[in-house]
Structures are given as structure tokens and as C-alpha cells.
């Protein structure tokens, strides 16, 4: 069975800009994906946040090009926002911020490890996380 991960916004951004801020274990997961050994799920909210984080950072990425690269990478799976994601907010109340709750909820629902350094997600007992 292939390893499955859900990526949060900063993990994906730091991967795309080759930042040293990306955790070593998280970086290894992206390398697993390149080798065809892992699927990396990208929740819709992560893609939206990525757009605005890129803007805030002065556009180091050509967003359309990166979106195309992610779309063409067999390791990346885009996850739409589904009504059940909102209906399950009550299950994820330990994660206070709405966008992080969506990310953690996708990881919980898929029973996938979440690539995140965010303390609220890392401390959420219903989700396994990986970073350093």
C-alpha cells in the first residue's frame, strides 16, 4: 500500500520554493512522492491559501506554472471542499482556526499523516503529523 499524506499550506509553499524551513521528514515525504512511493493530498483550502501566501511573499512562484506542475504530478491529489468537511467541524474542535481545521479534517477522514509544523494541528490527537 502506498503511503498517504495531507499537506498543509506552509509545507507545500516551502517545498515549492525549496526553503530550508521545510522539515527534514516532510522533505523526505515529497521525495517519496517523486519516486512514486507516496500520494500527497492537497486540500482545496491549501491551494487557496498557497495563492495568498505567494502574494504576501512577493510572488516567488509563478502560481499558474506551479499549479500545472502539481496537477501533472501523479503524486499530488487535489481534494475539493465537500459539505461533509464543514459538517465534521465539530469533530475537529481541538483545532481552533477554520482553515487548519479543514486540513486536519481531511487528514483525519483519509487516515493520512499530515505534513505540518503548526502546533494546533500537531497537538490534535486524532491526526498523526510529521515534520522534523
pLDDT in tens, 23-42: 999 999 999 999 999 999 99
For 53-67, what is the mean pLDDT?
A: 97
For 64-84, what is the mean pLDDT?
A: 95
Residue 132, number of CB atoms within 10 A of its CB = 7
For 104-116, what is the mean pLDDT?
A: 95
CATH class for domain 3-130?
A: alpha beta
Residue in the block written with cell 487535489? 78
Tell me, what's the pLDDT at 8? 97
- Locate all alpha helices (DSSP H) within the chain, ordered by sequence: 9-16, 24-34, 44-56, 63-72, 83-87, 98-110, 119-122
Residue in the block written with cell 500545472? 68
Sorted by where each begins, the domain ranges of the chain are 3-130
Q: How confident is the model at residue 84 (pLDDT cuts 50, 70, 90)?
A: confident
Tell me, what's the pLDDT at 85? 87
Strand, coil or helix: 40: strand
Tell me, what's the pLDDT at 116? 97
Residue 26 · residue 18 · CB < 8 Å = no
Residues in the chain: 132
Tell me, what's the pLDDT at 17? 97
For 120-126, what is the mean pLDDT?
A: 92
122/60 Cα distance (integer angstroms): 27
Angle at 72 between CA 71 and CA 74, to 5 degrees: 100
Amino acid at each position: 500500500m502506498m503511503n498517504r499524506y495531507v499537506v498543509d499550506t506552509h509545507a507545500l509553499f516551502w517545498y515549492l520554493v525549496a526553503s530550508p524551513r521545510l522539515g527534514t521528514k516532510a522533505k523526505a515525504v515529497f521525495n517519496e512522492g517523486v519516486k512514486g512511493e507516496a500520494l500527497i493530498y492537497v486540500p482545496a483550502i491549501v491551494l487557496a491559501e498557497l495563492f495568498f501566501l505567494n502574494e504576501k511573499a512577493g510572488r516567488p512562484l509563478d502560481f499558474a506554472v506551479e499549479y500545472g506542475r502539481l496537477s501533472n504530478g501523479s503524486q499530488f491529489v487535489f481534494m475539493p471542499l465537500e459539505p461533509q468537511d464543514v459538517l465534521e467541524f465539530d469533530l475537529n474542535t481541538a483545532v481552533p482556526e477554520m482553515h487548519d481545521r479543514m486540513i486536519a479534517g481531511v487528514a483525519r477522514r483519509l487516515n493520512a499523516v499530515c505534513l505540518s509544523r503548526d502546533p494546533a494541528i500537531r497537538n490534535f490527537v486524532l491526526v498523526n503529523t510529521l515534520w522534523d
